[in-house]
Structure 1
Amino acid sequence: MEPEGLREAFAEAALDVTPSVVPIAAIERAGRRRRRRRTAAVLGAACGVLLLPLAVVALRTDLSLGQGESERVTPPAASAGPTPSPSLSMAYAGKVRIVTPGERVEVSPGIEIWLTEDGKHWSEPDQPTLFRSVSDGNLDLSAPGVSVQESAHDGVSFLSGIFHGPGEPARVEVETVTGDLDGTALTLAGEPGWGVWYAEVKVPESQTPPSDSPSGVTERVTVYDSAGGVIASQESAT
């Protein structure tokens, strides 16, 4: 058959064929699904890229916080060791100290005082132990009073004595020929009603009383309680 005849035969056959309807709606839905999947994939990749540095930052923050907490850890407190005993010399000058019976206190170089229930004991260089009783009746403990003992060593006068009266001592004031000074009190625990005071003063030679003088370096001793009340006071006591 000639080519022109073939074309005519195909044209006639095509006229007899009814074309099917094109599924435009389905094609559009499929296209939208493919676009959504591509968009989700792109966003997921972008979020992953963004979250990676955030995760690194968070990790670094956690690490830095951990380091900060470790630096703020309080070290264990050092165990408290025994408190060193204070010097028994003039470290207690102007204070009140409670002592145990028989406890020796070095109140000045070469001079020691210790208290027992029956009175005051003290020792001085090149001297035997001295004693003043509070139980032999020589001191009237029923009324406030102060006694005084004086001695001189190397140009320094050591003053001491017994005080007695109601109340707990808090301060001792000693008036001397050279001026006023604070004394120190020693007492036993339990409010025994008496105690020992002492002080030390350097007296110029021009103010040193003669050895045969009835008056000494001490002019008055006054013992006060914590409220400022007078426990005992005596002038030129001997």
Structure 2
Amino acid sequence: MSHPSRSQQPQSPAAEAERLREAFAEVAYDVTPSVVPIAAIAREGRRRRRRRTAAVLGAACGVLLVPLAVVMLRGGVPGGQGEREQVTPPAASVSPSPSMSMPHAGKVRVVTPGERVTVSPGTKIWLTEDGKHWTEPDQPTQFRSVTDGNLDLSSPGVSLQESGREDGTVFLSGIFYGAGEPALVEIRTVAGDIDGTALTLAGEPGWGVWYAEVKVPESVRSSSDFLGGVTERVTVYDSAGGVIASQEFSS
């Protein structure tokens, strides 16, 4: 029987591991490592940082734009359905003295002597220093004096002339006199309350003319209680709400 030589006998695990390490070391020494691409790595890092910065800025701008859009919509930008228009509340009005306030905005005109004022087609009125003049369609010129003694200018008062037409329109006019500058003429009629117009001459003559036109409904004209008179009361106010003159008339 033959026996294997010593060289062919198996090696121990420790010796085998040592032999493998030596072999790997020899192979590693023969390999030349490549140069590390430092420049490329730096460029890639800068590119990624820029992308992250842009994403963060975009998100921040979006957050800022949302409140801005809300503010613009709340500010009442025109053109959108359902938007509300901001309304500035009116300034508080100051009541004249005395405590009563003037109910309507009146009309007052300062005219020169002889200046014609057109009331309606064919109806004109004018003042001279001696009184009131007016014309109506198909009527001669009429006149009421303030100097002939028929009016007592020493105490406040109001005179009245009425002239009706077939369509129910009535021309109302007269002379008022009293202390103060007129600002409003309020007329109570069977057809309701209306505002008149005051005409005065420059200076302080102590008198003026008022006029208005009113349409009386057929139901009122055909009533058995209607006696033909339209005017019930005329009151002339000054700018402070004080009464210059007031007169009651039977209807």
TM-score (norm 1): 0.57
Instruction: Report the AA paired with residue 183 of structure 1.
Output: G
Q: What amino acid does structure 2 have at the position aligned with 1:179? A: G
Could you tell me how far 1:94 is from its partner in structure 2? Answer: 4.0
The percentage of aligned residue pairs carrying the same residue is 79
CA distance in 1, matches of 2:222, 2:200: 30
| Cα distance between partner residues in 2 of 1:161 and 1:179 | 19
Equivalent in the alignment of 2:183: 170
SS of the residue 1:233 aligns to: strand
Cα distance in structure 2, aligned partners of 1:209 and 1:118: 39
Equivalent position of 1:112 in the other structure = 124
Distance 1:203 1:228, change over 3 A: same
1:128 pairs with one of 129, 140, 144: 140
Q: Which runs of 4+ in 1 moved over 4 A?
A: none
Shift of 1:108: 1.5
Offset of residue 215 of structure 1:
6.0
The answer to whether 1:179 aligns with 2:195 is no
CA-based RMSD of the aligned residues comes to 2.0
Q: What is the CA deviation profile of residues 160-187 of structure 1, one whole-angstrom value per residue up to 9, with x for unaligned ones? A: 0000000000000000001101110000
Deviation at 1:204, TM superposition (A): 1.0
User: In 1, Cα distance between the equivalents of 2:181 and 2:108?
Assistant: 10
Matches of 1:220 and 1:209 in 2, distance apart?
A: 22
C-alpha separation between the residues in 1 aligned to 2:176 and 2:220? Answer: 26
Structure 2 equivalent of residue 156 of structure 1: 169
Find the residue that maps to 2:203 and give its secondary structure: coil
Residue identity matched to 1:106: T
Alignment-derived partner of residue 219 in structure 2: 206
Q: How far does the alpha carbon of each residue in 1:73-102 deviate from its partner, in whole angstroms, 9 at most, with x for none?
A: xxxxxxxxxxxxxxxxxxxx9400000000
Q: 1:126 to 1:141 in 2, by over 3 A?
A: same
* Structure 2: distance between partners of 1:142 and 1:208: 37
Structure 2 counterpart of 1:138? 150
